Structures are given as structure tokens and as C-alpha cells.
Amino acid sequence: MSGSAVLVAIVGPTASGKSAVAMAVARQLGDVELMSIDSMQVYRGMDIGTAKPSTSERAEVRHHLIDLVDPSDDFTVAEFQRAYRDAVAGVAARNARALLVGGTGLYHRAVIDELDLPGEWPEIRARYAIEASQAGTAVLHAHLATIDPQAASKIDPSNTRRVIRALEVCEGSGRRFSSFGPGLDAYPSSPVQQIGLRWDRARLAARIERRVQAMIEAGLADEVERLLERGMSRTARQALGYKEMIDHVEGRISLDEAADLTVLRTRQFAVRQLRWFQRDPRLRWVDVEDDPVAAAAQAVLDALAT
């Protein structure tokens, strides 16, 4: 997967300072290229609300996996996985080192553990969704139990989304859903060393509030208006900050309400991110009190040196 590129990842919740640490390390070493492991930075034009690296930062340090598709396009984890493999191969060919930076947990696991990802069959999914609404999820779960008992035993019969996904994959791929590897419940040995940034919850909440206010002052509403004119996919419209600002731009809520909702939902998301990463026993955690660079840069430098 990685060729000769040394792989280290900085992970943690949003606004924890991952990008600042990564830039500090890259500036110091000179041969480090940054991999954005972020499900929304892949969209062109979604700059302010995703805290995308600035033009000057990208001129100074080579960044990858940013601006891959238009916001009107849907983008899958499997597509991201392929783009990541190509980017890391390029890093290795240049005899450089790859530093992964991001907080999108599923995308992170997909690339560091090379998850065997099933494809997508929207027409099959839509058909099962109609069937679930008419006959009930329990009927679909019983059907799943006949064709993939192992998958059915691990999926709650009331979890409509997961039941439909399992049936979609079984029919679309011709393989049992359970055949696609151990998935997210296993934490195998990985060539990627992971360093997590962890904050006191109240301090991180204050950082999130400041970040959201800065985004609004930087023109997030204007950015959303431009994006809506170009067209936004269902996935892009659900991005934190964008979903709320779309409601404001389209007249459903005030700017203050959009800001308050973005802060609230981003805080909730940060809690979920931390829980996700804390399940991974392979992480080395760095507790940050005020300056993420001072707290964590040396740990990243040490990891890159090994």
C-alpha cells in the first residue's frame, strides 16, 4: 500500500489542532506531505466550513485528497480509498514521508486498515427501502437471516438502514455481507502510527465556538450561496455548518440561529469523534491544555523518525 513512505496519523476531534501540528512538523522536516483524511474537504469550493488549508499553506507544503470532486457529486469511501492509495504511492516515489491528518473516522479506518469495502447499488437499496416501509424491517431481517445468517446475527432487527445495506450488498455483489472482512470491530496491526489529540471537553467546546464564529466572519454564508448556485449533493448538504447555513440562506432560520446550531452540533460531533477514536487501542494519546503544537509536535516527529 505505502511503498517506502513512512506513515503517521494525527487524529482527534474537530478543532483539536491537528492541522496546526501537521503544518508545524512539515515545516520543520521539509520532506513531509500531508494527507487530508476528511470526508468534506474532498469537495471543491467547500473551503471555509471545512477549515480547508489555505492557499498559502498548500503552496508551502504539499497537501493531498483535497478538492477531488465537485460538491454536486456524491463521493464514496471506496473512491476515497483509491485516491489515497494513488497519493501515497506518489509520496513514496518522491522519497517523501506521508502524514495523515483528519477526523473522519470511517475514512481513516478505511485507509489505514485497507478495509475490504463493498460497492453501492442504489437501485437495489431503493427497492428494499420501499419494501421496508410496506412490510416492515423485521421481514427484511428475516430474509437476511436466510441468505447471510452471520450478518443477521450482528444487526439489530430494528436497524432499518443496516438491514437494507446488508441485503443490498448481498444481492449486488453476489457475496454475503459478512464476507467483507472483520470490519470496524477488529483493530489489526497497521503500518500507520496513530497519535491522538485529546482536550478537556470545556476547553474544546470553547475552541469550537471560536472557530464557528471565525467561519461566519470569513463569509461562510456567501460561500454557501455560491455552492447552492452550482448544486450540492445530498452528502455535501449534510456537512456540519453547511446544513445550518443552507437553512439560513434559504430563509428558514436567522444567522444567529444557524451559528448556535452549528456550535451545538459540532460539539456533539466532537464527542462522537472522540468516542470513535478512543475505541482504537493502537492510538497514542497526547493531552493538550492550550497549545497543540507544543504538546504534540515532538510526538509526531518521533513517530516519523522511527
Is the pLDDT reported for residue 3 higher than 50?
A: no
Average pLDDT over residues 24-39: 97
Task: Calculate ∠ Cα 282-285-289, nearest 5°.
Answer: 170
* 239's grid cell: 456537512
- pLDDT (0 to 100) of residue 120: 87
Average pLDDT over residues 279-292: 97
Average pLDDT over residues 289-302: 97
Task: Give the C-alpha distances (Å, rounded to integers) separating 255 from 200, 205, 220, 229, 267.
Answer: 29, 20, 11, 19, 18
The per-residue pLDDT for range 199-255, each reduced to its tens digit, is 999 999 999 999 999 999 999 999 999 999 999 998 999 999 999 999 999 999 999
Q: Which residues of 69-83 are buried (b: 16+ CB within 10 A; e: fewer)?
A: ebbebebebebbeeb
What is the CATH class of 7-117+186-200+281-305? alpha beta
- pLDDT (0 to 100) of residue 181: 73
Q: 131 phi and psi, to 5 degrees?
A: -65, -40
Residue (of 11, 29, 4, 1) closest to 193 by Cα position: 11
Q: Say which CATH topology domain 122-179 has.
A: Histone, subunit A (1.10.20)
Is the pLDDT reported for residue 4 higher than 60?
A: no
- pLDDT (0 to 100) of residue 5: 83
Same fold yes or no, 122-179 and 201-273: no
- pLDDT (0 to 100) of residue 118: 87
Domain ranges of the chain: 7-117+186-200+281-305, 122-179, 201-273
The per-residue pLDDT for range 127-176, each reduced to its tens digit, is 999 999 999 999 999 999 999 999 999 899 999 989 999 999 999 999 99
Q: In this structure, are strands 7-11 and 63-64 parallel, antiparallel, or unpaired?
A: unpaired
Q: Percentage of the chain surpassing pLDDT 90?
A: 91
Count the helix, strand and coil residues of the chain and give each as a percent rounded to the nearest 5: 55, 10, 35
Q: How far is it, in rounded angstroms, from Cα 10 to Cα 196?
A: 6
Given the candidates 1.10.287.890, 3.20.20.150, 3.60.20.30, 3.30.420.40, the CATH classification of the domain at 201-273 is: 1.10.287.890
The per-residue pLDDT for range 95-107, each reduced to its tens digit, is 999 999 999 999 9
